[in-house]
Amino acid sequence: MKLALVGIGKIAVDQHVPAITASLDWELAATVSRKGHVEGVESFAAIEAMLAARPEVEVVSLALPPVPRFAYAWAALQAGKHVMLEKPPGATLAEVHALQALAEERGLTLYATWHSRMAHAVAPAKAWLQSKTVTRAHITWREDVRKWHPGQDWVFEPGGMGVFDPGSNALSILTKILPTPVHLTAADLDFPSNRQTPIAARLTFSGNVTADFDWRQEGHQTWDIEVETNEGQLALRMGGNVLEIDGNTVAGTSSIMGEYPALYARMAELVRLGESDVDLSPMVHVSDAMTLGRRASVDPFSF
Ligand code: NAP
C-alpha cells in the first residue's frame, strides 16, 4: 500500500522511515513536511498539495506533535485516506472522538498507535498478570528531556503534554497489562516557572497504583513498571522490553527497534480488515492528572 508520512522530524527519521522501508506491506510514496524530506521520496510542504497530487496514496501516517496533528488527520480522512496517529493521539480527547466519528462515517481505518505497547515483553506481562490479583504497582519513568526531545519547545507549550509525553508511554503499558482498570485519584505536577506543561509528575491511582515521571534525569535512564500480585512479583524494564518474574529475567530484549515495525504491521492488518483501533485510556489518565493535579512551580527550564 502506498503511504504518505507527515512531519519529518525526530521520530519519523529514527523509527517511521526505517520501519516503512523495511516492510513488504508499505511503499513510502510521499512525505509532507515544511522543512524535512526523505531522500528519493517526493516531498510536499502542505498536506492539501499532496492529497491533490497523489490520489493513489491510501494511507497517511502522522508523525507530527499532537497540537497540529488534528487538522492534518481531518484533511486526510476527508480525502478518503486511512490514518495512523503518533502517540498521544491528539491534543484533546474530544478531537480524537471527532476523528473516530469521521473515520467510522467514511468507512476508513483510524489507528491511534501506542508504540510502547509493542515492546517485546508487554504481551507476556499481560498474559502473566491475567489470572492474578494485583496488590500494588509502581511506575518509575525518569529520562532526560534534553536527550530525547532536543530543542523541542513544543513539549512545553499548551498541548505538548510535558513529561506526560513519555509518561503516556508508561500509561499505555499499564492500561494494557492490568487485569482490572484503575483510575487516577491524585497528582502532584511540577511546572518550570517559565513553561506551560509539567516537567515532573507523581500520580496516585485506585488499586494501590502509583507513578513517578521525571524529565530531569541525567545519566542512567529508567523506564520501569513493578507489579506485586498475590502470586509473585513482575517487573517490566527498558520501557516494556524486558520482563522479570520474581527477580529473574524471563522474556524480552533491551532493543526498542521492534516497536515501529509492529505498529506498521498492525496498521496493514487493520486496513485489510476494515477496522479501527483507538484506545484513549492512557490519555484519559493524562487528562485527569491535569484536572486533579496539585501544581507546584519549580526552577525554570531551558534546552
Ligand atoms: P519533532 O521532531 O519536533 O516534530 C516532528 C515534525 O513535525 C517536525 O520536524 C516538523 O516538521 C513537524 N511540526 C512540528 N511542529 C509543527 C507544527 N506546529 N505544524 C506543522 N508541523 C509541525 O517531534 P518528534 O520527536 O518527532 O515527535 C513527534 C511525535 O512523535 C510526538 O507526538 C511524540 O510524542 C512522538 N514520539 C516521539 C519520540 C521521540 O523520541 N522524540 C518517540 C516516540 C514518539 P516540519 O517543520 O518540516 O514541518
Mind giving me the DSSP string for 33-87? -SS---TTSEEESSHHHHHHH-TT--EEEE-S-HHHHHHHHHHHHHTT-EEEEPS
> How many angstroms separate the alpha carbon of residue 12 from the centre of ligand 1?
8
Binned at pLDDT 50, 70 and 90, residue 150 comes out as very high
Domains in the chain, please, with CATH?
Answer: 2-112 (3.40.50.720), 117-258+287-298 (3.30.360.10)
List 85's β-bridge partners, or say none: 62, 112
Q: Is 139:225 a contact under the CB 8 Å cutoff? A: yes
Return d(Cα 70, Cα 98) in angstroms, integer.
Answer: 9
Predicted local distance difference test score (pLDDT) of residue 23: 97
Cα–ligand 1 centroid distance for 117 (angstroms): 20
**CA–CA gap between residue 10 and residue 7 (Å, rounded):** 9
For residue 151, the model assigns a pLDDT of: 95
| CA 146 vs CA 70, 151, 166, 167: distances in Å | 26, 7, 13, 16
Given this model, what pLDDT does residue 193 score? 98
Using a pLDDT cut of 90, give the percent of the chain over it: 97
Q: pLDDT band at residue 251, thresholds of 50, 70 and 90?
A: confident
Mean pLDDT for the stretch of residues 147-173: 97
For 277, the grid coordinates are: 483501533
Please give the model's pTM, rounded to 2 decimal places: 0.97
**Within 6 Å (CB) of ligand 1, which residues are found?**
7-12, 33-36, 63-66, 68, 86-87, 115, 148-149, 152, 154, 165
